[in-house]
Structure 1
Amino acid sequence: MSETITVYDQVEIEDFVFDPTQRIFTYPCPCGDRFQIGLDDMLDGEDIAVCPSCSLMVKIIFDEEDLAEYVDS
């Protein structure tokens, strides 16, 4: 049985902000916090960023080659 995830929106990776120190991508959430996902999670195939303050999630639109510029930063 597959699980269906309901996402708030779909967002291009270019719209996220990357923090090279923490190696995470963030994007503003309507609740006032920020959706976040780790670079390593994305390299492992994850494409859902979660807001730690509410239940909303966004799907990140990207190709695997888009991540190459962030790996060595």
Structure 2
Amino acid sequence: MSEQLSIYDQIEIEDFTFDPVQQLFTYPCPCGDRFQICLEDMKDGEDVAVCPSCSLMCQIIFEEEDLQEYIDQIDH
């Protein structure tokens, strides 16, 4: 049985803010908090960021090779 996701918006990966220490992508949510997804989940193929304060989710538009520049930020 597949779970129906309620996607608020589709957002390009370059519009997210990346924190190399926490390895976390964030983007402002309309509720005032931020959508969040970790780099490890994205490497595993996950493309939905969730806001911890409300039920909104957004889909991240990216190609797997886009992640390399963020991985490089961690390794240095």
TM range, normalised to the smaller chain? Answer: over 0.9
- Offset from partner CA, 1:3-26 (integer Å, 9 cap, x none): 221100000001000000000000
Match of 1:36 in 2: 36
Normalising by the residue count of structure 2, what TM-score does the alignment of the two structures yield?
0.92
Match of 1:16 in 2: 16
Match of 1:62 in 2: 62
Specify every segment of 5 or more residues in structure 1 that has no aligned partner in the other structure, as ranges: none
Q: How many residues align?
A: 73
Specify every segment of 5 or more residues in structure 2 that has no aligned partner in the other structure, as ranges: none
> What is the SS of the residue equivalent to 1:22?
coil
Point out the structure with the larger helix share: 2
- Offset from partner CA, 1:23-53 (integer Å, 9 cap, x none): 0000000000000000000000000000000
Give % identity: 74
**RMSD of Structure 2 on Structure 1 (CA):** 0.7
The aligned amino acid for 1:62 is F
- Offset from partner CA, 1:52-73 (integer Å, 9 cap, x none): 0000000000000000001121
